[in-house]
């Protein structure tokens, strides 16, 4: 049950904050998809929260 709750938390974060994110779109158009993805994982606070939830899954 806990695993399912963690997946639901990630899904909620993605739906509320990441879908339609201006920064992701901007970085993707200016510097490319890989840079935008790396930015989201390393610099974005939502990305850091998602990474922390992922670490709890392990």
Report whether 41 contacts 47 (CB < 8 A).
Answer: yes
How buried is residue 55: exposed, middle or buried, by Cβ count under 10 Å (0-12/13-18/19+)?
Answer: exposed
What is the pLDDT at residue 56?
A: 92
What is the pLDDT at residue 58?
A: 79
Give the residue-averaged pLDDT of 37-52.
94
Each residue's pLDDT tens digit, 1-44: 699 999 999 999 999 999 999 999 999 999 999 999 999 999 99
What is the pLDDT at residue 1?
A: 63
What is the pLDDT at residue 9?
A: 96
What is the pLDDT at residue 39?
A: 95
């Amino acid at each position: 049950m806990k695993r399912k709750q963690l997946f639901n938390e990630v899904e909620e974060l993605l739906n509320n904050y990441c879908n339609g994110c201006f920064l992701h779109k901007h970085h993707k158009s200016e510097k490319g998809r890989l840079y935008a993805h790396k930015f989201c994982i390393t610099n974005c606070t939502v990305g850091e929260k998602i990474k922390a939830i992922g670490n709890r899954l392990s």
